[in-house]
Structure formats: C-alpha cells, structure tokens
Chains A and B, each alone.
Chain A
C-alpha cells in the first residue's frame, strides 16, 4: 500500500469539505468587502475601499466594536471567576459517583439549546416576570427591578450560556493534577493559598486559556442574546453586522466589518500565542 495514497484518501474528503465551507466563503467575503454594492440584478458595481474607510471615519462603528470586545472580556472573566472554583471543588473535594453525577448535572444545561436558555432568561427577567414576582412576594413593596433590557441582563444571559464551557475545560486540567503533588506541597508546609496560586492555577492554565477562547470568540460575535435581552442597550457590532446581511442588504459593509473583527481576533490570538506555546 502506497502511504501517500493512503494519507490522501484519508484526509482529502474532510479538507475539500473545509475548503468549500470555510476557505472559499471567507475568500468570497473578502472579495465582497471591496465592492460598492451586491452584484445581483442590474446593479452597477465597482471596486472600492469605502467599506473599510467607513469603519475608520465613523467613530460609532469602532465604539461598538470596542463595546463588543469589552463584553467578551467581561463575560470571560466572570465565567472564569465563577467557573474555576466550581471546577476545583468538583475535581478535588468530591469523589466517586456523586462527582460523576454532579459533573453531568453541570454540563446538562450546556447540552440544551443556547437559544432556549436565553429565552428562559427573558421569562425570568421581564417586567411582572418570575423574578420580580417572587422578590415582591418575599419582600413586599420592592417594586419593579427593571433588570430586563439592561447591560447586566445581557451579561447574565451570556454568562449562563457559556459558564459550562469554562467549568468543563478547567475541570479537565485540574483533574489531571496528581494529588500526590498537592500532598507533597502540603507536607512541605505550603499554605492553601500558596498551593492554589503557585501550583494549581499554573498547572490548570491550559484549561483556563482554552475555556477563555471558547467563550470570548463566540461572545464578541453574538447578536441574538443582545437583541433578546438588551433592548435599547442591545446594540453591538454583532447586531450591526447581522443588520447588514438580513435587513439593510449592505453585504459589502457587513463583510468589511466582519473582516475587521476577525483581524482583531487573530491579533489577540497572536498576542497570546507565546503563552499558548509555553503551555505545550
């Protein structure tokens, strides 16, 4: 058996598929981002850099881009703060069947539809909704909370959606830490905080980094969550891009904005790459 032929027949289908669904579409989008209009029907189309120029000339596009990245960073940090202790508790202080059952319970909601989860938050947060109702029942006279259609509402929904990612990745790397190592550190007189920050956190770094990227990347491109939970405060670069494709029919501008966003993501990944390389 010719090895070359074997390799080719194993990998060709998958990479052809990826070329058709990722590489070519991204190239088509790059091409579109330099057009003046969508080339259908009898529209006159010419080459232009105007779509990119628009981004730099109109301050509000970059403000919204920044806002999206800020949202991504905040959601990621909150997920880390909530998820890491959770993964730690799960991996190191609970054993046996309870552990496995709890673990399943934590990733179960992650298995339900993301949209369904956001939808459930609208039920909880809305005016006269469950939250207001129960708080007013416990503490009469609290009045409306006005949580719906605020920035915190978006944060809440996104953290809820992506928290299991962080727990999952952190858990896997914490679980791999040998207990004997921790015992050894303890017997040498290391305090709990020392063990946590000098031993566990560095060893769990691959999980933390992986979880952060798995959360950060989808969040900056989110448009459904801000629309449903954010109301007046739900305008982000993601919603603007979606508008260009579904409503305004300015595909070239949408493509240009997408490419700028992707460029920034790659820049961030590149910035983190020394760290990632060290982990390997």
Chain B
C-alpha cells in the first residue's frame, strides 16, 4: 500500500519534472519586460502560472518601444521574456537582441491563427523571433459624458470645441502615424512629412497633457483632465471593465493604426525553458478568456481563444467585422533614417508646443 502510494507520487513528480524541464524543483524566477498593466502582470494570472509550474514572475516596464530596445541593449542576459511590437521584432533580431524560438513543445502555438503565427514581421528565414500574442488598434477614446454623439472621425482630436481637452501619448512614431492616418498617408512610409509636421503643430491648442502609461491615462481621465485622448483598444476595455470609467473606444472612418504584439526571448536568456513555458501560458485560452472577460484585453492571436469568448464580446464583434477593420493599417518595420527623422520631427513639435 505504502509502496504504491510512493510509486504513484514518484511517477507523478517525475512526469511534471519531465514536462517542465526541471523547473519544478528549482522554483525559478523569470523577469518579464512589458508595458505596465498589459496582461503579463495580472496578479491572478501569475498565481495561476505559479500553481501550474512553480515559476515566479517579476516585471520591469517600459514606456515606449525605443525604451524597450534600449533596456535590451544595456541589460544583456537579464530578461527572460520581452513583449515586442512586431514592427520592431525584425530590428531587434537584426541587432542580435533576441533569439530564434524553437516552438516545439509549446502546445498552444498550434492554435494561433496561421496568418499571425507566420507573420513575416515575426518570422524570418523560417525562424520564429516572436510568438504572436495579441493584436489591436490605436486610435482614440472619448469620455461619454463629454459627447452627445460619439464622433466617427479622427478629426475630433483637432476639433476646436475640445481645445485644451485632448490627451496625447508622448511617442514620436505614434504621433506621426496618427497624423498620417488623418491625412490619408501610408503610416509606414509617409509620403509628405511636411504636411504631417503642419498637422501635428495644429495640435498645440488642443493638447492638455501627454500620457505615458495606461495607469496614467486612467488617473488623468478620472481627474477629468481630458474629453478625449489617443488610446489603445485593449486598454480602453480595461479602463471600462476594471476601473468602471465611462470610456468609449472609437474606430474612426479614416482608419487606425493596427499592431500585432509578439512575445520574444532575449539573447543570452537566463532561463530559456521557463521563458517558453510562460509564453505558452500567455497564449493559453484559459488565461486569455479570463483576461478579456474580467479585466479587458486586445484581441488574441489564438483563434481558439477568441472563439471561446462570449458571443457579444467586443473582441469578437468589432474585430471580426472585416468592414470595420478594413481601414486599419498595420504597423510595419521602419527604416532607421526615417525613424530618426520622425523622432526629431516630434521633438521639434514638442518644442513648438511650449507656451
């Protein structure tokens, strides 16, 4: 009797050890680099993950893609998992900041919708540099209390009736791309930077303040600092669900910026197997469904996970409607020269904003 119990116990443990590659015993800790409040740091999820694998997760945050790249460059061998907007995955791979991921054994990768799993921004020469995680759009969100009718045009951000009541993210690429959308230009290769410069300068009377993180957005919104502000689709649903703010996300008729975020493993990763286990967990429907229904999330790249959402979920209704997302332009890689121009353009514009 005792022996049988012992054997059972022993074999169970052995199995777990085999599956997790020894992580159960070592009780490893992994370090994740992401935006604040963006899924990977939900405390219930980390508890769930720890229960399943015994792995502790700690976080470090960034406020822009540039800052994320700088953190990877100046801290080699520190992070285990990093969230990279797929527009930057190629650059990170080329600079040798991230490694190719061997996805065998990551069971949930098979459920990713093939177009995203094999997106050329994430996969180069047949090697996966980022595992597709979630996608969404950037445009703007309004305070329902300040609008009779929800606007359907991005020009609302330039509307004089909301002068001094607009929130804007302090990010060069996003600022230029939103102006490009308003002007009907290609966001990844804007044809007329002069027109964009003029459009951005026209924001001077409009902008109340810059925001740099989702949390800051919520604070400013609840302090009634703005009527409308640029925002991300997933964050808008979090502000609504988790914080109870009267937020409505707008998909303008001119289009919006689309993005696909992937999870990558940095070069010289300290805990590769644990990192892979975590990425696999992040694309697990168990995690995603709870994240979207209880907190609010962008749309998962995992088709199976999206199909498990309640039928009236925002991420099933809005983003499954191909007509509504037809105008969305997806962010792609950008040439160094163009990016430098954009960064300088935005700095100059900010200098112009000063009273």
Q: Do chains A and B touch in the complex (CB under 8 A)?
A: yes
Question: Does A49 count as interface, using CB distance less than 8 angstroms?
Answer: no
Q: In the assembled complex, how far is the CB of residue A46 from the closest CB belonging to chain B, in whole angstroms? A: 16
Question: Does B67 count as interface, using CB distance less than 8 angstroms?
Answer: yes
Given A246-B67, A248-B66, 5 extra CB contacts under 8 A = A38-B73, A127-B223, A146-B164, A148-B225, A233-B354
In Å, the complex CA distance between A146 and B70 comes to: 35
Q: For A38, list chain B residues within 8 Å (CB).
A: 73
Which A positions have Cβ atoms within 8 angstroms of B? 38, 40-42, 58, 60-61, 63-64, 67, 126-129, 144, 146, 148-151, 231-235, 240, 243, 246-249
Question: Does B352 count as interface, using CB distance less than 8 angstroms?
Answer: yes
Question: Does B254 count as interface, using CB distance less than 8 angstroms?
Answer: no
Within 8 Å by CB of A42, from B73, B96, B207, B353, lies: B96
Are A249 and B69 neighbours in the complex by a CB distance under 8 Å? yes
Nearest to A128 among chain B residues (CB) is B223
Q: Among residues 59 to 84 in chain B, which have CB atoms less than 8 Å away from a CB atom of chain A?
A: 63-64, 66-67, 69-70, 73
Q: Can you report 9 residue pairs joining A to B where beta carbons are below 8 Å apart?
A: A41-B95, A58-B344, A127-B225, A231-B209, A232-B210, A234-B210, A235-B351, A246-B67, A247-B67
Are B225 and A126 neighbours in the complex by a CB distance under 8 Å? yes
Are A235 and B354 neighbours in the complex by a CB distance under 8 Å? yes
Nearest to B350 among chain A residues (CB) is A235
In Å, the complex CA distance between A243 and B73 comes to: 15
Q: In the assembled complex, how far is the CB of residue B61 from the closest CB belonging to chain A, in whole angstroms? A: 12
User: Which of A67, A126, A150, A231 has the most chain B CB atoms inside 10 A of its CB?
Assistant: A231
The 8 A-B pairs at the shortest CB distance, nearest first, are namely A231-B209, A60-B351, A127-B223, A149-B209, A235-B350, A249-B70, A247-B67, A232-B207
Q: Among residues 221 to 238 in chain B, which have CB atoms less than 8 Å away from a CB atom of chain A?
A: 222-225
Q: For B352, list chain A residues within 8 Å (CB).
A: 60
In Å, the complex CA distance between A60 and B353 comes to: 11
Interface size bracket, B side: 20 to 34
Are B348 and A60 neighbours in the complex by a CB distance under 8 Å? yes
Are B351 and A232 neighbours in the complex by a CB distance under 8 Å? no
A249 and B73 contact, Cβ closer than 8 Å, known pairs A41-B95, A127-B223, A233-B353: yes
Q: In the assembled complex, how far is the CB of residue B344 from the closest CB belonging to chain A, in whole angstroms? A: 7
Q: Among residues 313 to 355 in chain B, which have CB atoms less than 8 Å away from a CB atom of chain A?
A: 343-344, 347-348, 350-355
Nearest to A151 among chain B residues (CB) is B355
Question: Does B208 count as interface, using CB distance less than 8 angstroms?
Answer: yes
Q: In the assembled complex, how far is the CB of residue A122 from the closest CB belonging to chain B, in whole angstroms? A: 9
Are A129 and B223 neighbours in the complex by a CB distance under 8 Å? yes
Q: For B73, list chain A residues within 8 Å (CB).
A: 38, 40-41, 249
Q: For B354, list chain A residues within 8 Å (CB).
A: 64, 67, 233, 235
In Å, the complex CA distance between A151 and B355 comes to: 8
Nearest to B94 among chain A residues (CB) is A42
Q: Among residues 79 to 101 in chain B, which have CB atoms less than 8 Å away from a CB atom of chain A?
A: 95-96
Q: For A128, list chain B residues within 8 Å (CB).
A: 222-224
In Å, the complex CA distance between A232 and B350 comes to: 8
In Å, the complex CA distance between A232 and B343 comes to: 17
